[in-house]
Amino acid sequence: MLLALASCTGSEPSTERPLVPDFPPGWRYAPAANPLRAVHGMVVSTDSLASAAGLGMLQAGGNAVDAAVATHFALAVVNPEAGNIGGGGFLVARMADDTRAALDFREKAPLASTADMFLDAEGRVTDAGVLGHLASGVPGSVAGMRAAWERFGTLPWSDLLQPAIRLARDGFVLGPRHLESLESRADLIRQFPSTAATFLPDGEAPEVGTVFRQPDLARTLEAISIDGAAAFYRGWIADSTVAEMQRGGGIITHEDLAAYEAVWRDPIVLGYRGYEIITMPPPSSGGITLGQILNIVEDFDLGAMGWLSADHVHVAVEAMRRAFADRNYYLGDPDFVEIPMERLLSQAYADSLASTIDLHSASDSRVFNRVPEESMQTTHYSIMDAEGNAVAVTTTINSWFGSKVVVRGAGYLLNNEMDDFTSKPGVANQFGLVQGEANAIEPGKRMLSAMTPTIVVDREGRTDLVTGTPGGPTIITTVFQAVTNYIDFGLPVRTSVDAPRFHHQHLPDRIYYEPHGLADSVVQELRRRGHVVEERGEMSGDVQSIQVGDDGVLLGASDRRRGGRALGY
């Protein structure tokens, strides 16, 4: 087990907890320590209706996995820009009997894909990997939910889909969040008639307060509720998907769909200051890269540096820089490339990287660069039930509304996950990630992800924190901050989720931070040390966390950045 290789002997955090720290001046949220409290079970997701769907399963006697399946399908209806059946994702679970599980339902490159399919005649990367039919990997979500249910579920499969079917058939009331995302992508959506017909009924985004119905999606979900995953990968839904591909120049075939399987993998188990961190292995880079960052910062007394101080940000960023350089070079689908996982996660390797950190001056990313340089939307939910089973799922169609293609007749949006592959080594993808050959496109291969559903186990062996977030590469650094905000700085879960975040991904060589997310004096000090520091206008992440209090009470915090909801009973 990787715990044996990762560091588990680091020093204990030096700060006393819990103190609610001051946020930097001007930060958008006031510090608060009032998470949702619940005794039995809890669902924290990006949408209140989806949380309610999961909670209903817990109250009906289902477990956390039943609730996850119900939440997942409901998100495909009420959070269509990210929740999905046309995408994929990863599930990490720690069951009450200490069974640890990691489910890979990541999309796969269609069998007809080629390494240079997104290059034009001059060798430049086109936008076909982001927009339209060619951008889609073979969806994994339905197979994933079915595999999770077959292994751990307790309620009848069909029951789990009923809330989603009702929400699609009878509709739900559109809120400002839905409209904001629809309006921001309306011009792209208009390019695809079936998508426009679904989301822009009279040619425009509907108004806030409109009851929004998706009858085609309701029929699709109903078929899945009756025939399971086979309904999606074979039969009329598969026919619709293939017909849609043929209409728009896509390459997903019946053979691709029929061959898709979700895969159980061994979760990565890291040791960090005496805690265990259970997280996702490849084809997500999340677990390895999170582990490398944690292993490096474990060589420093982060807690003593002061939360969001220049020293804290400097050390964390230097660790992120080094870990992302390795990510972008070594990581890819483990079924296709050899990943030196044990070496990357060994404490000896982390120590050697930590020893190259100068506490007073920024390193140069080029020193760590192994990829030759040529010049969103995701959702997460965290669930715990009365037995103590814990589930963390991050799932995506990549960009908001994925490829922007709705499958005509089946009413579901397809992902644009092909952009997560390396279209051309050294050329940045839509997240600015500069990746290498290990993540090149090959038929049947899974594209590298950053999704990092994570469960923290405390020193007494109790599940302590269930967490995750969307955000492309910032997923890894956001989960790192969720873990260290808790373990090193003792932040209460509500404060930790509301707190400002920073990010570094090796290239581009700069620290991003949210507006007013770092004090001016800290920014100045970081610049003095040689960092390029940039305030990025957009919000970073959408964390959904459950923390278990010392008294066993569940404390839930859904990120205020996009208006999700924790519900419990």
Which residues are near ligand DON by CB under 6 A?
Answer: 376-378, 396, 398, 417, 420, 449-451, 470-472, 475
Q: Least distance from C-beta 300 to ligand DON, angstroms?
A: 27
Q: Least distance from C-beta 476 to ligand DON, angstroms?
A: 9
447-459 residues labelled b (16+ CB within 10 A) or e (exposed): bbbbbbbbbbbee
DSSP state of 362: P
Which residues contact residue 260 at a Cβ distance below 8 angstroms, ignoring those fewer than 6 apart?
Answer: 108, 138, 139, 140, 143, 233
Q: Which is nearer to ligand DON, 332 or 492 (CB)?
A: 332
Q: Which is nearer to ligand DON, 52 or 451 (CB)?
A: 451
Q: Least distance from C-beta 451 to ligand DON, angstroms?
A: 5
- What token pair was written down for 103? 């489910």
Q: Least distance from C-beta 90 to ligand DON, angstroms?
A: 9
Q: Least distance from C-beta 430 to ligand DON, angstroms?
A: 9
Please provide the DSSP assignment of 475-519 as one string.
HHHHHHHHHHHHHTT---HHHHHHS--EE--SSS--EEE-TT-S-
Q: Which is nearer to ligand DON, 347 or 398 (CB)?
A: 398
Q: Least distance from C-beta 325 to ligand DON, angstroms?
A: 17
- What token pair was written down for 495? 């404060």
Distance CA 404, CA 194 (A): 10
Q: Is 195 a catalytic residue?
A: no
Q: Which is nearer to ligand DON, 178 or 312 (CB)?
A: 178
Q: Least distance from C-beta 532 to ligand DON, angstroms?
A: 23
Q: Which of 246, 234, 236, 239 is nearest to 133 (CA)?
A: 246
Distance CA 256, CA 359 (A): 51
Distance of CA 374 to the CA centre of its chain: 28
Strand order in the sheet with 263-265: 263-265, 100-105, 88-94, 390-396, 378-384, 42-45, 565-568
DSSP state of 365: G
Q: Which is nearer to ligand DON, 161 or 376 (CB)?
A: 376
- What token pair was written down for 107? 């999309």
Q: Which of 357, 372, 283, 273 is nearest to 323 (CA)?
A: 357
Q: Which is nearer to ligand DON, 62 or 500 (CB)?
A: 500
CB atoms under 10 Å from CB of 235, counted, come to: 13
Q: Which is nearer to ligand DON, 386 or 475 (CB)?
A: 475
Q: Least distance from C-beta 205 to ligand DON, angstroms?
A: 20
| Active-site residue identified among 378, 395, 396, 452 | 378
Query: For the chain, how many helices (H) and strands (E)?
Result: 18, 19
Please provide the DSSP assignment of 12-75 as one string.
PP-S-S---PPPPTT-SS------EEESS-EEEES-HHHHHHHHHHHHTT--HHHHHHHHHHHH
Question: Which position's Cβ is nearest ligand DON?
Answer: 376
Q: Name the burial class of residue 566, with classes exposed (0-12), middle (13-18) and buried (19+) by CB atoms within 10 angstroms of its CB.
A: buried
Distance CA 8, CA 480 (A): 16
Q: Least distance from C-beta 130 to ligand DON, angstroms?
A: 11
Q: Which is nearer to ligand DON, 24 or 471 (CB)?
A: 471
Distance CA 296, CA 355 (A): 9
Q: Which is nearer to ligand DON, 157 or 336 (CB)?
A: 336
First to last CA, the chain: 36
Residues marked active site are found at 378
